[in-house]
Amino acid sequence: MQGDSLPERSYNHVAFEMGPDEYDERLVRIRALGLEVREGRARVAGEGYSIYFYDHDNHLFELHSGTLEERLRRYGEGAEA
């Protein structure tokens, strides 16, 4: 992100897709950088996994191991959390 740091943190974020097999490696790398990892919300089984983290300028990012289409399809199946 370019520009000034944000004055405070919020849930507004930018999301990026990652492969389902990349979760553990990405989480280790993010923590090694000293970035704050935010606890994600409870997930519906089969909708993928997310890592939320703040950069040093208070921007929130999400790495998600699935697509919007997969998530919506899973919700449409009436899955329980």
| Number of other CB atoms surrounding residue 52 within 10 Å | 19
Q: What is the pLDDT of residue 29?
A: 96
Mean pLDDT within 58-78: 82
Residues 5-38: pLDDT tens digits?
Answer: 999 998 889 999 999 899 999 999 999 999 999 9
Res 81 pLDDT > 50:
no
pTM of the entire structure? 0.75
71, HSE (Cβ side, Cα atoms, 13 Å): 10
> In CATH terms, is domain 13-76 a member of 1.10.10.10?
no
Q: What is the SS3 assignment for 53? A: strand
Which of 25, 39, 47, 62 is labelled catalytic? 62
Q: Report which of residues 52 and 43 the model is more confident about.
A: 52
Active site residue 62: yes
Domain positions in the chain are: 13-76
